[in-house]
A and B are shown apart, each in its own frame.
Chain A
Amino acid sequence: MAELTAVVGIGQTKYEAKRDDLSMPGLVREAAERALADAGCSWADIDAVILGKAPDLFEGVMMPELFLNDALGGAYKPMLRVHTAGSVGGSTAIVAASMVQAGIHDRVLCVAYEKQSESNAIWALSISVPFSLATVAGAGGYFAPLVRGYIRRSGAPEDTGIRVAVKDRQNALRNPLAHLHLEDISFDLVANSPMLWDPIRYLETCPSSDGACALVMEKESLASRRPDKVAWIHATEMRSEPTMFSGRDQVMPRATLDNAKNLYRKAGITNPRREIDCAEIYVPFSWFEPMWMEGMLITERNQGWKMTYEGATAMDGDFPVNMSGGVLSSNPIGASGLIRFAEAARQVRGRADQHQVDGARKALGHAYGGGSQYFSTWIVSSEKP
């Protein structure tokens, strides 16, 4: 039987377009120090460090875990790098948790980051493979045709994405760490913003952010002694599939559906919409909220847009999504998945401040990446399973 594991410390940097006050080591250090302070731990209390970030090509630093090791107190300790494209933040949390669940370590530090101001993500994501033609401009260029496919398939009203974009930016106004604080956010502002990758508008896309996020996790015998609420990890799940194969459903990949089924089975959840109190879902382009509401089996196929439309995913809805403002409001790519996992944990610890969902006891953290092919999720709760 695996060791029950809990998140006992959470640290995040302020997310900004350009953190030129900090180097990359300084950035990860800031998040890690905050997580340690939150957990009441010192560097010496950490047994191992697990680090995640998006492709090395972004900042042009190969194997950055080597040069970040010192800043993260990793000397003479086990350190492991995780990399699963955009979902990496989620996968990093899962790998870190597994170190404790497997009984290998008692307490681990898990960190993920991106310094987009020192990188060129669109370039890094548009590299031409030899003997093939480069036509896809960045992630938006890849996902826009899939969003069009979803709209055609579901019959969703064309303004669904605009509504998601407004809702997430309104939520971000309650989160002081969020990169975007658009005080004047409105339906018209989003609707009138330039069309970048038709049907995706400028304000329906995520920003480009610098930032880092860190978690401290520990085993049950340690976490149980704490006076403060911790976030107990009920289940984790990771699934992937190839980018391209004949008949692949790119809009609703099998990997997301398998991921959701297995996650809920492990967590003993039979009715996810009712049993989960809130969720932080990886939504880098607005339309992925309704798409992943279906992909995570929160609602029926082709019905996800109705949750957005009916306000179910708003702060006061029956299934709040992205209370923190989500990826649409802060996107340090490598950290974005871990932020979702961390924000889910904040909710069940009752420590989400202005964007706290009242009485949240069970929350879902979610990340996806690549060509909608990597999926990482977890369920955390204020109660032990």
Chain B
Amino acid sequence: MNAHDTSGTEGDGSPVTVLRAPIVLEYEYSAGQSASRFLRAIAEGRLLGQRCPVDGRVYFPSRGSCPQHAVTFGDEVVELSDKGTIVTFSIVRVPSKNIPLELPYITVNVLLDGADTILMHVLDADLDDVHMGMRVQAVWKPREEWTTSTENILFFRPIDEPDADYDSYKEHI
């Protein structure tokens, strides 16, 4: 690794006051039981949520426990639709090094049918058309490319269904 890059300060004779020192951090990450089950299912094109035993709400994606009630979810899984409702959204015109999308793009908070938590994703639609309550569906990669990855879903796209009622999703904003 090249530790010291003084690019931008070479050649013009001015003193070097700042140097760039990239740091690489590699780490291993265990998915754990809950995420593993979720990832194996998504490799088959299925979306699995889990239910909180305290209030019965369905978490997707689930991390195996409820952040509000501090309880572990049981073995029950809830199969979800890949259709949902846009709860809120933004149109992003700011680049970020770690987001490989062309600007502008639409970020959406989607409430999947059957879920009680929102999923943050991107929407492929006309900028002028996107709105709260819009009905959308996941667009998947070709089946032969599916792996144990959330990237199996490329993006969401509007579908020809009437808008959801504001009251049906307002608590998820």
Contact = CB atoms under 8 A, between A and B. Distances in A.
A131 B121 contact: no
Interface in A175-202: 194-200
Nearest to A62: B23
Nearest to A18: B18
Interface residues of A, number: 44
A250 interface: yes
A135 B122 CA distance: 7
A148 B88 contact: yes
A245 interface: yes
B112 interface: no
A246 B59 CA distance: 7
Interface in A217-255: 242-251
B94 A145 contact: no
Nearest to A140: B94
Contact of A60 (B23, B97, B116): B23
Contacts of B29: 130
A20 B8 CA distance: 15
A196 B94 contact: yes
Given A123-B96, A148-B90, A246-B68, A132 B61 contact: yes
B120 interface: yes
B98 interface: yes
B72 interface: no
A135 B121 contact: yes
Interface in B2-34: 17-18, 21, 23, 29, 31
A312 interface: no
A320 B58 CA distance: 43
Contact of A134 (B31, B57, B95, B99): B99
Interface in B82-112: 87-99, 101, 107-109
A144 interface: yes
A134 B121 CA distance: 8
Max chain B Cβ within 10 angstroms of own Cβ: one of A118, A145, A148, A247: A145
B39 A131 contact: yes
A20 B96 CA distance: 24
A122 B96 contact: yes
Given A135-B121, A148-B88, A246 B150 contact: no
Interface string B42-76: 00000000001001011101000011100000000
Contacts of B58: 246
B172 interface: yes
A126 B96 contact: yes
Contacts of B87: 145, 149
Contacts of A249: 171, 173
A137 B95 contact: yes
B149 A131 contact: yes
B121 A133 contact: yes
Contacts of A73: none
Interface string A284-300: 00000000000000000
Interface string A35-58: 000000000000000000000000
A77 interface: no
A384 interface: no
Q: Which of B96, B109, B116, B121 has the most chain A CB atoms closer than 10 A to its own CB? A: B96
A135 B35 contact: no
A141 interface: yes
Contacts of A149: 87-88, 173
Contacts of A20: 17-18
A246 B93 contact: no
A266 interface: no
Contacts of B137: none
Nearest to B59: A246
B93 A145 contact: no
B107 A136 contact: yes
B93 A194 contact: yes
Given A122-B96, A131-B35, A131-B150, A145 B90 contact: yes
Given A126-B99, A198-B90, 20 more contacts: A120-B97, A127-B98, A130-B31, A132-B61, A133-B151, A135-B107, A137-B94, A138-B94, A140-B94, A145-B89, A146-B88, A152-B88, A153-B170, A195-B91, A199-B90, A242-B67, A242-B68, A245-B68, A246-B52, A246-B68
Interface of B: 17-18, 21, 23, 29, 31, 35, 39, 52, 55, 57-59, 61, 66-68, 87-99, 101, 107-109, 116-118, 120-122, 132, 149-151, 166, 170-173
18 contacts: A20-B17, A122-B96, A130-B29, A135-B120, A135-B121, A135-B122, A144-B90, A144-B92, A145-B107, A146-B88, A149-B88, A152-B88, A199-B90, A245-B66, A245-B117, A246-B52, A247-B171, A250-B173
